[in-house]
């Protein structure tokens, strides 16, 4: 009998195929649900993740459980999560039904006791998270906010913030986002094309620095100022080349 139908026992190969199918199926729906499922867990995300894990876990641990029902259940849960996310994008009011609002826990160095009770965060947990962000005293904190994903964001008082070039009225140049042009010996030609550069140009830059082939490069990164940073395979040193 095929492995996707419930039966008394499965062969080793059938167990492997069953696990592989569910893995690829979950991977597909995780991609469809978006990166936020990994980066942050809201209330809805948590419910969906736990339920899907329970459904899949039960299926993988039992030979009598077929794949049809669990796959329909996973698709339904993922579809509901995507549907709710789309509605939330279109309607902020509806979004507040499914997601918590940010809650201020500390304001101008003062603990807000009512919100601490509402969120059921104890003082030890709050002070621990503030210390992890580098603030050991409440009078250093302008605002501490509990975000919908359960993390605490901190805005320090102006006198406790690191000095920036803007504070010193120093002009700075635009830096932009660097691009990886070689990764583990493979040339990322799409990134080169985005910057109107060619593989031939990259080859010449490497030859200037006595690198015979991109295959010898572990990683190479080009910034918006035209500086090429690269590390060779099996070597600990990094080098810098200018366009």
- What DSSP character marks residue 183? E
pLDDT of residue 4: 62
Confidence tier at 141 by pLDDT (50, 70, 90): very high
Give the whole-angstrom CA distance, residue 75 versus residue 77: 6
Kind and range of the H or E run holding 216: none
Are the folds of 103-160 and 179-242 the same?
A: yes
Of 54-63, 69-78, 201-210, 232-241, which gets the smallest average pLDDT?
232-241
Give the whole-angstrom CA distance, residue 146 versus residue 222: 37
Cβ pair 222, 195 in contact under 8 A: yes
> Would you call 239 helix, strand, or coil by DSSP?
strand
Residue 168, pLDDT > 60, answer: yes
Give the whole-angstrom CA distance, residue 44 versus residue 204: 52
Widest distance between CA atoms in the chain: 75
Structure token digits, residue 232: 């060779």
What CATH code is assigned to 103-160?
3.30.240.20
Average pLDDT over residues 166-184: 85
Give the whole-angstrom CA distance, residue 22 versus residue 25: 5
pLDDT of residue 144: 94
pLDDT of residue 105: 93
Residue 55, pLDDT > 60, answer: yes
Alpha-carbon distances, residue 75 vs 24, 69, 210 (angstroms): 13, 10, 53
Residue 155, pLDDT > 90, answer: yes
Q: According to the CATH classification, is domain 179-242 in 3.30.240.20?
A: yes
Confidence tier at 71 by pLDDT (50, 70, 90): confident
Structure token digits, residue 231: 């590390």
Name, in order, each residue with C-beta under 8 angstroms of 95's C-beta and a sequence gap of 6 or more.
87, 88, 89
Q: Per-domain residue ranges for the chain?
A: 12-95, 103-160, 179-242
Model-wide pTM > 0.85: no
Structure token digits, residue 131: 């210390």
Average pLDDT over residues 96-105: 80
Give the whole-angstrom CA distance, residue 133 versus residue 237: 32
pLDDT of residue 130: 92
pLDDT of residue 153: 92
pLDDT of residue 207: 87
Is pLDDT larger for residue 1 or for residue 103? Answer: 103
């Amino acid at each position: 009998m095929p492995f996707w139908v419930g039966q008394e026992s499965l062969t080793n190969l059938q167990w492997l195929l069953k696990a592989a199918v569910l893995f690829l199926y979950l991977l597909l729906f995780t991609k469809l649900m978006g990166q936020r499922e990994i980066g942050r867990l809201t209330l809805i995300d948590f419910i969906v993740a736990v339920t899907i894990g329970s459904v899949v876990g039960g299926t993988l641990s039992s030979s009598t459980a077929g794949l049809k029902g669990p796959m329909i259940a996973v698709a339904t849960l993922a579809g509901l999560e995507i549907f709710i996310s789309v509605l939330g994008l279109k309607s902020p009011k509806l979004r507040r039904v499914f997601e918590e609002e940010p809650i201020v826990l500390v304001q101008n160095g003062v603990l807000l006791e009512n919100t601490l009770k509402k969120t059921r965060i104890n003082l030890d947990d709050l002070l621990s998270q503030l210390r992890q962000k580098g603030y050991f005293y409440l009078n250093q904190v302008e605002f501490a906010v509990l975000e919908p994903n359960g993390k605490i964001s901190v805005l320090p008082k102006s006198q406790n913030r690191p000095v920036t070039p803007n504070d010193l009225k120093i002009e700075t140049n635009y830096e932009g986002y660097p691009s990886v042009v070689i990764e583990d010996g493979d040339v990322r030609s799409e990134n080169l094309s985005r910057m109107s550069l060619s593989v031939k140009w990259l080859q010449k830059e490497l030859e200037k620095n006595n690198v015979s082939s991109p295959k010898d490069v572990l990683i190479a990164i080009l910034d918006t100022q035209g500086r090429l940073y690269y590390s060779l395979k099996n070597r600990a040193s990094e080098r810098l080349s200018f366009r």
